[in-house]
């Protein structure tokens, strides 16, 4: 194949006006917005991975990996950024907070099969029970469906994490089963409760919450306008 015309690359355009070092806003809700990770976020992660409450309630492989596999190395940032099986986004409160309130991610993404797993971590105790986690999960679910083309999301919750189970139910997830004594907290075994949601159920949630319309593509949603 030979070029008959050569033109230089276009100047890149940013999805939003924020400096890249602050992260790119991917999705925006009423209470929170989701942005891409930046290298500076590692200092937040460094604090979160040492929180025993988070460890017990979430048992996040993401945080566990940062602490124990990557030994809090700065290289973790690039590894996450270039991992094609996960999308990790920082949760920022729209008002009243000066630092991220958590992280939400889709992982074990299977693009061809159309499914992935969801993990939502609200790290600031003051930010809990304010609907931040519910909205963050909702936004990334829409992102997974609209941008990644996913048709099913799955989440696992420790049986004692009632707050997370209620949050998933409020977002339309259904309990699909129980993995008996599949979790271990260092002292005893606990059941893991499996939740799932399908594309049409996510759409039903979006119709119910009319404020969550697809973002303009320029803000990162990628959904084509009709």
Binding interface with other proteins (CB under 8 A): 1-15, 20, 24, 26, 36, 81-87, 89, 106, 109-112, 147-149, 217-218, 220-222, 224
Shortest distance, position 149 Cβ to other proteins, whole Å? 6
Shortest distance, position 36 Cβ to other proteins, whole Å? 5
The span from the CA of 168 to the CA of 43, in Å, is 28
Shortest distance, position 33 Cβ to other proteins, whole Å? 14
Cβ–Cβ contacts within 10 Å for residue 47, how many? 11
The span from the CA of 204 to the CA of 212, in Å, is 12
CB 157 within 8 A of CB 60: no
Shortest distance, position 62 Cβ to other proteins, whole Å? 15
Question: Which CB, 5 or 187, lies closer to other proteins?
Answer: 5
Shortest distance, position 3 Cβ to other proteins, whole Å? 4
The span from the CA of 140 to the CA of 134, in Å, is 10
CB 173 within 8 A of CB 195: yes
Question: Which CB, 54 or 150, lies closer to other proteins?
Answer: 150
* Tokens matching residue 117: 């797993």
Question: Which CB, 9 or 211, lies closer to other proteins?
Answer: 9
Question: Which CB, 83 or 176, lies closer to other proteins?
Answer: 83
The span from the CA of 170 to the CA of 218, in Å, is 29
Question: Which CB, 7 or 98, lies closer to other proteins?
Answer: 7
Q: Do strands 152-158 and 189-198 pair parallel, antiparallel, or not at all (unpaired)?
A: antiparallel
């Amino acid at each position: 194949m030979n070029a008959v015309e050569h033109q230089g690359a276009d100047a890149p355009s940013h999805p939003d006006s924020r400096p890249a070092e602050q992260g790119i806003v991917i999705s925006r809700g009423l209470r929170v917005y989701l942005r891409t990770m930046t290298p500076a976020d590692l200092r937040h992660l460094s604090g979160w991975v040492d929180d025993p409450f988070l460890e017990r309630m979430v048992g996040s492989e993401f945080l566990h990996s940062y602490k124990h596999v990557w030994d809090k190395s700065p290289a973790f940032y690039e590894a996450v950024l270039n991992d094609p099986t996960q999308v990790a986004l920082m949760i920022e409160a729209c008002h009243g907070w000066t630092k991220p309130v958590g992280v939400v991610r889709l992982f074990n993404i299977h693009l061809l099969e159309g499914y992935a797993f969801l993990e939502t971590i609200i790290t600031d105790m003051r930010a809990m029970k304010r609907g931040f986690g519910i909205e963050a999960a909702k936004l990334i679910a829409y992102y997974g469906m609209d941008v990644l083309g996913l048709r099913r999301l799955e989440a696992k919750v420790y049986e004692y994490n009632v707050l997370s189970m209620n949050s998933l139910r409020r977002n339309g997830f259904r309990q699909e089963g129980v993995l008996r004594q599949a979790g271990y907290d260092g002292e005893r075994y606990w059941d893991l409760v499996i939740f799932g949601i399908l594309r049409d159920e996510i759409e039903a949630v979006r119709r119910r919450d009319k404020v969550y319309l697809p973002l303009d593509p320029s803000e990162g949603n990628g959904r084509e306008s009709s």
